[in-house]
């Protein structure tokens, strides 16, 4: 997974489509992100992406 100066909401949308999960982001999740993640499980990738923007995830099963 590699992105350069892409809106974080677009990255989350791509991740949601890839994993077939529902991701809901609050209005405070905004800005651009540059990242390169190789051989990183999707759940760890999500944690890394959100932590980079000082956000967190809440899961409800």
* pLDDT tens figures, 5-44: 999 999 999 999 988 989 888 888 889 999 999 999 988 9
Domain that residue 20 falls in? 2-52
Query: Cα separation of 7 and 40, whole Å?
Result: 20
Is 8 among the domain residues?
yes
The model's confidence at residue 60, banded by pLDDT at 50, 70 and 90, is very low
Domain count across the chain: 1
Q: Which residue from 60, 53, 57 is spatially nearest to 30, judged by alpha carbons?
A: 53
- The band of 59, judged by pLDDT with boundaries at 50, 70 and 90, is low
pTM: 0.78
Rounding to the nearest 10 degrees, give the CA dihedral for residues 45, 7, 50, 24: -100
Separation CA 50–CA 16 (nearest Å): 13
Tell me what pLDDT residue 29 has.
84
């Amino acid at each position: 997974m590699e992105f350069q100066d892409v809106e974080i909401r677009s990255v989350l949308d791509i991740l949601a489509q890839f994993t077939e999960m529902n991701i809901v982001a609050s209005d405070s999740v905004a800005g651009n992100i540059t990242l390169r993640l190789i051989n990183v499980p999707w759940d760890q990738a999500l944690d890394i992406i959100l932590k980079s923007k000082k956000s967190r995830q809440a899961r409800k099963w």
